Structure 1
Amino acid sequence: MSVARSGPDPVDEHGKTRAALRATAPRLARLLRDVPDLGAPSGVPVWTVGDVGAHVGAVYLAYCSAFTHEFDDWDSVLPPGDVPFVERITSVNARSIGLFDADGRGRLGDFVAERGETFLRATEGLAPDTPVVTPWYGEGMVLTLAAATGLVLSESLLHGLDIARGAGLPWTIGPEEARLVIGQAMPTMMPLALDTARARGIGIAFDLAVRGGPRLAVVIGDGTATVTRDAPPRAYDCRISAAPAAFLLVAFRRTPLWKAVARGRIRAGGRKPWLAPRLGRLITGP
C-alpha cells in the first residue's frame, strides 16, 4: 500500500483543519452535555448514545496521549497479535468504550472540551508531517500530524451525528469540514481499510472528484490501493462526482448510497460508471 500526495499547500490546509477542530470540539462537548439520556439508542448499531460518547472520549484520549503520554495501558484495549485492520479497529472500539464508567460518561462533555484544547495546544506549531504514533491502527503504525488531526475532526463530526440522532438533537456537518476530512484523513486511511481479499485480482482506477475539492485518484490493483491527491491526468475506469458531506456520510455508512444518488449529490460517469458502488465494497470499515 502507498499514499502519494500533491496539490494545495499542506501547511495552509493543516491550519484550516486545526481551525475546524478548534470549532468542532466545543460544539461536540456542548452536545454531550445536552444529551438527556445516555442509555438511548444511537446512530451506531448496538451502541447507546453513551457508548458513542465513550468512544469519542477514547479517541481524544488516544490522540492526546500520543503527545502527553497520559494513557499507556494499551494492552487493555489492543487485540493480541497482528490482526487485519478492520478486525483490529472493531476490537479496539469495543474495548475502548469500557474506559469510561457511569460517572465518567456523565462528564464526557468536559473531558472532550479539555482534551480537544490539550491536543491543539500540544501540537501547536508542529509541521504537518510530524510523526504521530498510533498503535491502535497497527503495530508500529505512525501517521502524519495532518492525517491525525483530520481523523480527530472526522471522529468528532461523524460521532457527533450519531449522538445527535440518538438524542434527538441538532448536528450539522458542513461542506468545508467534510472537504478537510476527505483531503487530510482519507488518503491515508483508505489504503489501510482496503479489503485485500476482496480486492485480490481486481484492477480499477476511480477518479473521485469532490465538488469544490479535493480530488482523489483511488487505484486498486491486485490487493493493494494507492490514493493520490490531485493526481496528474491519467485514464480512469470510473469517475465519481460527489458533494463533500454526502460522500463522507456514504463512505462511513451514515447515509445509504441510493439516497445520495437520488438527490443528485453523488453521480458516476466515465467508461464504466457501473463500477462506482464497488468502491464502498472494496474500502471497508468496522
Structure 2
Amino acid sequence: MTNSTSMPVVPDLAELSVALESAMQRTIAIARSGGDPKAPVPSLNWNASETGTHLMWALFAFAGAISGEPLNAGFPEVSWDNNMRDYLAVINDQALSASGERSMEDVAEGLEQAYEALKKVIASSPNLEAAVPTSWYGPDQTRTVGTLLALSVTETLVHGWDMARAFKIDGEFTVEEARAAFPTVMSQMLPILVNPNLPDGFKASYEIRIHEATPFVLRIADGKAVAEPAGEPVDCIITMNPRYGLLTGFRRVPLWKGIIGGHTMAAGDKPWLAFKFQKIFMSA
C-alpha cells in the first residue's frame, strides 16, 4: 500500500482553521438538536449516536497523532492483509463497541473536547508537510499533518451532514468549507484506497480540478495510484464543485449523477473514464 508523504496540494492552515470552526459549531449544534440517538443514518450502518461517536474518536486520533500523543484505546491487535479499508473498518467497530451507547449530549461534549485538542494543534503552527504515524490505516502507515487536519474538516462536514439527515434537519455545509480541505484529502487518501480488484493491466490518468483550488493528477497503473502536481498530459480531466465532490468522495452521492446534474464535468481525450473513477477506488 502506498505510504507516500509528498503533497501535491498543501492546505492553507488559516483556511482549515476557519472551516473547522464553522463545521464543528454546526455539528455540535446538530448533536444537541434533540434528535433520537438511535435514528438510522442513510447510507451508513450506524445510527446518529454511533456516527457522532466515530467522528469524536477520529478527531481525537488526528489531534493525538499530530501532537505526538497518539490515541491508545487498548484495542486488540487487528490482522493486516494489505487492505486499508477492511483494517480501518475493524478499528472503527472496536472503537464503537468500546464506547458503548452514548446520548447525543455525550456526543456533543466529546466533540467539544476533540475540537479543543485540534485547536491546540492548529495554534502551534505545525509543519503541514511533516509525516506522522497513523497506525489506524495499517502497520507503519504515515500521513502528513496537513492531511490529518484536512481530514478533520471533511470528516466533520460529512458526518455532521449524516447526523442531520438522520434527524431530518438542515445540515448543509458550504462550498468554502469543503474547498479548504477536500483537495488535500482527495489527493492524499485515494492512493491508499485503490480497488484491489481492478482488471489486470488497467491504466488511467486523471487531472482533478476542484473549483478555485490547486489541481492535481492521479495516475493509476499496476494496481497502484500516485498523486502528483498537474502539468503533464492525462486521459481525463474531471472538474467538480468542492461541496458536491466531497459528498461524491464519501460515497454519499454517485459521480454520474453529478455529471448529469452539472456539478461535475468531464473532458480530455477519454472523458468517458470519468464514469469509471469511483470504481477505481474504495470508500473508507
Query: Per-residue displacement from partner, 1:224-277 (whole Å, max 9, x unpaired)?
Result: 111124x22x22111112111111111211112233122211111211111112
Q: TM-score, normalised by structure 1?
A: 0.89
Q: CA deviation at 1:34?
A: 1.3
What is the aligned residue count?
280
Could you tell me whether the CA contact under 8 Å between 2:256 and 2:275 is conserved in 1? no
For residues 257-276 of structure 1, the aligned pairs below 5 Å read 257-276=255-274
Q: 1:199 to 1:138 in 2, by over 3 A?
A: farther
Q: CA shift at 1:96, angstroms?
A: 1.8
Mapping of residues 84-103 of structure 1, within 5 Å: 84-103=83-102
Letter matched to residue 152 of structure 1? S
Q: Please give the secondary structure, in 2, of the residue aligned with 1:28.
A: helix
Equivalence for 2:169: 169
Q: How much has 1:39 moved relative to structure 2?
A: 0.6
1:221, distance to aligned residue in structure 2 (A): 1.1
Q: Look up the match of 1:49.
A: 48
Q: Distance in 2 between matches of 1:14 and 1:122?
A: 11
CA distance in 1, matches of 2:22, 2:44: 28
Write the distance in 2 (CA, Å) between the matches of 1:238 and 1:152. Answer: 29
- The Cα of 1:103 is off from its aligned counterpart by 4.4
Distance 1:70 1:4 in 2: 22
CA RMSD of aligned residues (A): 2.1
Distance 2:190 2:165 in 1: 26
Percentage of matched positions with identical amino acids: 23
Give the alignment of 1:100-179 within 5 angstroms.
100-103=99-102, 106-123=105-122, 124-179=124-179
Matched residue type, 1:182: F
In the alignment, structure 1 segments of 5+ residues that lack a partner are none
The superposition leaves residues 95-134 of structure 1 with CA deviations (integer Å, 9 ceiling, x where unpaired) of 2222322346541101101211112213422221233321
SS in 1 for 2:42: coil
Map 1:1-286 onto structure 2 (within 5 A). 1=2, 2=4, 4-6=6-8, 10=10, 13-66=12-65, 67=67, 69=69, 71-76=71-76, 79-103=78-102, 106-123=105-122, 124-198=124-198, 200-229=200-229, 231-232=230-231, 234-286=232-284
Amino acid at match of 2:83: P
**C-alpha deviation, 1:19, in angstroms:** 2.3
Structure 1 stretches of at least 4 aligned residues deviating more than 6 Å after TM superposition: none
Change (3 A) 1:202 1:183: same
CA distance in 2, matches of 1:247, 1:200: 28
TM-score normalised over the length of structure 2: 0.90
Partners in 1 of 2:199 and 2:56 — Cα distance?
34
Q: Distance in 2 between matches of 1:6 and 1:73?
A: 33
| Unaligned segments of structure 2, at least 5 residues | none
